[in-house]
Amino acid sequence: MSLLRKQESRCRLFPMWGVAWIPVCTGMTYEESIFKTMKVIYHPRYEEVYASDPAAKAGRMECILKEISPLYKLVHPEPASVADIKLVHTEWHLSSIQRMPQTCEVALLAAGGAIKAAELAMSGEPAFGLIRPPGHHASPDSCWGFCFFNNMAVTIAKLRKEGRIKRAVILDFDLHYGDGTDNIFGGVADVVYFHPEARDRQEFVDSIALFLERHKADIIGVSAGFDRHVEDWGGQLKTEDYRAIGKLVKEFSERVCKGRRFGVLEGGYNHDVLGKNVKAFLDGLS
Ligand SMILES: [Zn+2]
C-alpha cells in the first residue's frame, strides 16, 4: 500500500493553499498510523489576517504547516468560552476585545486551541497548539504585543479550577518576557513561570535544563516563541537548540508528571525559518 493510500484510509485529506494536502483527524483508529504520536491543534481560521501586526501576517501559519502537517495529526479545537476567558481576564478587557469581532473570534479559537492541547496532554498525549494570536503579553485587564487573550494562562487556570492539576510549570522561551502570564500568576505559588535570558545559546539551553532539574509539576506548558532564532529578531538560537529544548521538556515531563506536556505558539516572525524551527521543537518534544 502506498504511503498516500495508507493516509487516505485513516484521514480525510484536504487540499489547502495549493502546496500541501492536510490530513484532518476523523476519529478513526490510528494504530498503524504513519504519523508521530504527538498531535497538533489547528484551525483554518488561524490563517485569517485578523489584525495588522507581524503575528497576524499572511502566510505565517502556512509556512509552519508546510513543515509539520505531513508528520502530525491535526486536531480542530472549539473556541474557549466566555467563562474560560474570565478565569484570568476582567469583564472590561473581554468587552474591549469583543468590540473587534473578527479578532475576538480568532482569539477565542486560539485560547480554545491551547485548552485542547492541554486536555490531550492530561490524557497522556503530548500536543502542540499551532495557534494565533499569541497570548503571553495579555494581562488581566490589558494587552499588547500582538496578544489579546492569554492562551496559556486561561488553560492553566482552567485545569486548576477543575481540580485536575495543582502545580504547573510554564516555560516561555520566546524572545520577549511574558509580562501578561507573570501578571496573572505572579502571586500564585503553585504556578511557576520561567523566562530564560542568557548571553549565548549554550547558556540559554543550559539555564532551561538547570531550571527543570529544580522543579516539579503536574503538567508543563511551553510558551513557544521562535523570535530568538539567529535569523529572527533575537539573533541568538540555532534551529537545533529548539530540538534540544523540546527534548528537555519531554524528559522533565516523563520524570515528574507522567509525560504531561504541551506547547503553544507565541512569537516567531521570519517565515523563511519559522517552519523548520517549530518542526525542530516538536521533534524534541514528541
Ligand atoms: Zn516575542
Q: How far is the CA of 159 from the centre of ligand 1 (A)?
A: 25
Please answer whether residues 256 and 192 qualify as being in contact, where contact means their C-beta atoms are separated by less than 8 angstroms: no
Q: Does 194 lie in the same domain as 119? A: yes
Q: How far is the CA of 1 from the centre of ligand 1 (A)?
A: 44
- Cβ neighbours around 11 below 10 Å, total: 21
Q: How far is the CA of 264 from the centre of ligand 1 (A)?
A: 13
SS3 175: coil
Q: Does 28 lie in the same domain as 120? A: no
Q: How far is the CA of 268 from the centre of ligand 1 (A)?
A: 7
Q: Does 41 lie in the same domain as 26? A: no
Q: How far apart are CA 284 and CA 269, in angstroms?
A: 21
Q: How far is the CA of 32 from the centre of ligand 1 (A)?
A: 38
In the chain, the largest separation of any two C-alpha atoms, in whole Å, equals: 56
Q: Does 135 lie in the same domain as 239? A: yes
Q: Does 17 lie in the same domain as 99? A: no
Q: How far is the CA of 102 from the centre of ligand 1 (A)?
A: 23
Q: Does 166 lie in the same domain as 259? A: yes
Q: How far is the CA of 230 from the centre of ligand 1 (A)?
A: 14
Q: How far is the CA of 180 from the centre of ligand 1 (A)?
A: 12
Q: Does 222 lie in the same domain as 139? A: yes
Q: Does 251 lie in the same domain as 197? A: yes
- Cβ neighbours around 81 below 10 Å, total: 15
Q: How far apart are CA 11 and CA 73, in angstroms?
A: 9
Q: How far is the CA of 15 from the centre of ligand 1 (A)?
A: 31
Q: How far is the CA of 171 from the centre of ligand 1 (A)?
A: 14
Q: What is the CATH number of the domain that holds 218?
A: 3.40.800.20
Q: Does 105 lie in the same domain as 189? A: yes
pTM of the model: 0.89
Expressed as residue numbers, the domain containing 25 is 1-33
3-state helix vs strand vs coil in the chain, percent to 5? 40, 15, 45
Q: What are the backbone angles phi and psi of residue 265, rounded to the nearest 5°?
A: -70, 135
Grid cell for residue 19 = 502546496
Tell me the CA distances in angstroms from 265 to 12, 105, 174, 231, 256, one per residue in order: 25, 18, 9, 18, 24
Q: How far is the CA of 267 from the centre of ligand 1 (A)?
A: 4
Q: How far is the CA of 233 from the centre of ligand 1 (A)?
A: 8
Q: What is the pLDDT along the chain (286 residues), one digit of tens a residue?
A: 333 333 333 444 444 443 444 445 444 444 444 566 899 999 999 999 999 999 999 999 999 999 999 999 999 999 999 999 999 999 999 999 999 999 999 999 999 999 999 999 999 999 999 999 999 999 999 999 999 999 999 999 999 999 999 999 999 999 999 999 999 999 999 999 999 999 999 999 999 999 999 999 999 999 999 999 999 999 999 999 999 999 999 999 999 999 999 999 999 999 999 999 999 999 999 9
pLDDT for position 14: 44
Q: Does 95 lie in the same domain as 12? A: no
Q: How far apart are CA 263 and CA 99, in angstroms?
A: 29
Q: How far apart are CA 133 and CA 145, in angstroms?
A: 10
Q: Does 68 lie in the same domain as 151? A: yes
What 213-218 contacts at long range (C-beta under 8 Å, 24+ apart), as own/partner pairs, is: 215/169, 215/256, 216/167, 216/256, 216/257, 217/165, 217/167, 217/168, 217/169, 217/192, 217/256, 217/257, 218/165, 218/166, 218/167, 218/168, 218/257, 218/260
Q: How far is the CA of 218 from the centre of ligand 1 (A)?
A: 26
Q: Does 93 lie in the same domain as 11? A: no
Q: How far is the CA of 55 from the centre of ligand 1 (A)?
A: 9
Domain total for the chain? Answer: 2
Q: What are the backbone angles phi and psi of residue 36, rounded to the nearest 5°?
A: -70, 165
Q: How far is the CA of 34 from the centre of ligand 1 (A)?
A: 33
Eight-state DSSP code of residue 142: E
